[in-house]
Amino acid sequence: MSRCLAMLAFAALAVLVPLRAAHSTETVVIGSKNFTESVVLGEVARLAAKEHGVEVEHRRGLGGTRILWRALLGGDIDAYPEYTGTLVHELLHDVPPDAGIPLLRERLKQLGIGITASLGFNDTYAIGMREDEARRLHIRGISDLAGHPDLQLAFSNEFMNRADGWPGLKAAYHLPMGARGMDHDLAYRALASGAVDAIDLYSTDAEIAYYHLRVLKDDLHYFPRYEAVYLYRLDLEQRAPNFAAVLNRLEGSIDAQRMRAMNKAVKIDGKSETSVAANFLGVEAEPGSDGGFWPRMARYTAQHLALVGISLTLAIVLAVPLGVLAARRRRLGQIVIGLTGILQTVPSLALFVFMIPLFGIGAKPAIAALFLYSLLPIVRNTHAGLTGIQPSLLESAAALGLPPRVRLWRVELPLALRSILAGVKIAAVINVGTATLGALIGAGGYGQPILTGIRLDSIPLIMEGAVPAALLALVMQGVFELIERALTPRGLRLRAMS
Amino acid sequence: MPASLESSTKLPDSAFALVRATRAFGTTRAVDDVSLDFARGHTSTLIGTSGSGKSTLLRMLIGLEWPTAGEVRCDGEPLRREDVLEVRRRVGYVIQDGGLFPHLSVLGNLMLLPRHLGWKPSRIRERAGELAALAHIREELFGRFPTELSGGQRQRVALMRALMLDPPTLLLDEPLGALDPLVRHGLQDELREIFRSLGKTVIMVTHDLAEAAFFSDRLILMRRGRVLQDGSLEDFRRHPADPFVREFLAAQRTLPGAA
Which pLDDT band, with edges at 50, 70 and 90, does A154 fall under? very high
Instruction: State residue A290's pLDDT score.
Output: 60
* Closest B-chain CA to A404: B85
What mean pLDDT is predicted for residues A89-107? 88
What mean pLDDT is predicted for residues A163-173? 87
User: Between chains, do B112 and A400 touch, taking CB under 8 Å as contact?
Assistant: yes
Which pLDDT band, with edges at 50, 70 and 90, does A496 fall under? low
Instruction: State residue A8's pLDDT score.
Output: 54
Give the C-alpha separation, A442 to A456, whole Å: 18
What mean pLDDT is predicted for residues A441-456? 87
Q: What is the ipTM of this complex?
A: 0.88
Residues of A in contact with B88 (CB under 8 A): 398-401
For the range B49-53, what are the long-range contacts, defined as Cβ-Cβ under 8 Å and sequence gap of 24 or more? Answer: B49/B207, B49/B223, B49/B248, B50/B207, B51/B224, B52/B222, B52/B223, B52/B224, B52/B225, B53/B23, B53/B29, B53/B222, B53/B224, B53/B225, B53/B226
Instruction: State residue A287's pLDDT score.
Output: 64
- Can you list the positions of beta strands (E) in A411-452? none
Could you give the angle at which helices B181-198 and B121-135 cross, rounded to 10 degrees?
120
User: Between chains, do B102 and A396 touch, taking CB under 8 Å as contact?
Assistant: no
User: Between chains, do B103 and A415 touch, taking CB under 8 Å as contact?
Assistant: yes
Which of B64, B116, B147 faces A491 most closely, judged by CB atoms?
A: B147
Higher-scoring residue by pLDDT: A25, A200: A200
Which of B85, B101, B145 faces A494 most closely, judged by CB atoms?
A: B145
User: Between chains, do B101 and A393 touch, taking CB under 8 Å as contact?
Assistant: yes
Instruction: State residue B1's pLDDT score.
Output: 41
What mean pLDDT is predicted for residues B54-82? 93
* Closest B-chain CA to A418: B103
User: Between chains, do A395 and B146 touch, taking CB under 8 Å as contact?
Assistant: no
What mean pLDDT is predicted for residues B193-204? 90
Span of A280-294, B74-88, B191-205 with lowest mean pLDDT:
A280-294
B124 CB contacts (<8 Å, ≥6 apart)?
B110, B111, B114, B115, B164
Instruction: State residue A348's pLDDT score.
Output: 85
Which pLDDT band, with edges at 50, 70 and 90, does B255 fall under? low
User: Between chains, do B85 and A415 touch, taking CB under 8 Å as contact?
Assistant: no
What mean pLDDT is predicted for residues A137-161? 90
Which pLDDT band, with edges at 50, 70 and 90, does A288 fall under? low
Which of A396, A403, A406 faces B99 most closely, judged by CB atoms?
A: A396
Per-residue pLDDT tens for A39-91? 999 999 999 998 888 889 999 888 888 889 989 998 989 999 999 988 988 89
* Closest B-chain CA to A393: B99
Which pLDDT band, with edges at 50, 70 and 90, does A9 fall under? low
User: Between chains, do B101 and A401 touch, taking CB under 8 Å as contact?
Assistant: no
pTM value is: 0.75
Which pLDDT band, with edges at 50, 70 and 90, does A349 fall under? confident
What mean pLDDT is predicted for residues A237-248? 87
Instruction: State residue B8's pLDDT score.
Output: 43
Instruction: State residue A479's pLDDT score.
Output: 93
Instruction: State residue A161's pLDDT score.
Output: 84
By the 10 Å C-beta count (0-12 exposed, 13-18 middle, 19+ buried), B13 is classed as middle
For an interface test with A, the pick among B58, B96, B101 (most A C-beta atoms closer than 10 Å) comes out as B101
What mean pLDDT is predicted for residues B40-50? 91
Instruction: State residue A18's pLDDT score.
Output: 46
Give the C-alpha separation, B13 to B40, whole Å: 5
Give the C-alpha separation, B152 to B98, whole Å: 9
The full length of chain B comes to 259
What mean pLDDT is predicted for residues A355-373? 89
B255 CB contacts (<8 Å, ≥6 apart)?
none
Span of A126-140, A306-320, B184-198 with lowest mean pLDDT:
B184-198
pLDDT exceeds 80 at position A355:
yes
Per-residue pLDDT tens for B213-245? 999 989 999 999 999 999 999 899 899 988 888
What mean pLDDT is predicted for residues A413-427? 94
User: Between chains, do B88 and A414 touch, taking CB under 8 Å as contact?
Assistant: no
Residue B6 to residues B2, B130, B203, B218: CA-CA distances in angstroms? Answer: 7, 19, 20, 23
- Distance (Å) from the C-alpha of residue B200 to the closest C-alpha of chain A? 17
Instruction: State residue B259's pLDDT score.
Output: 44
Q: Which DSSP category does A408 fall into? A: I
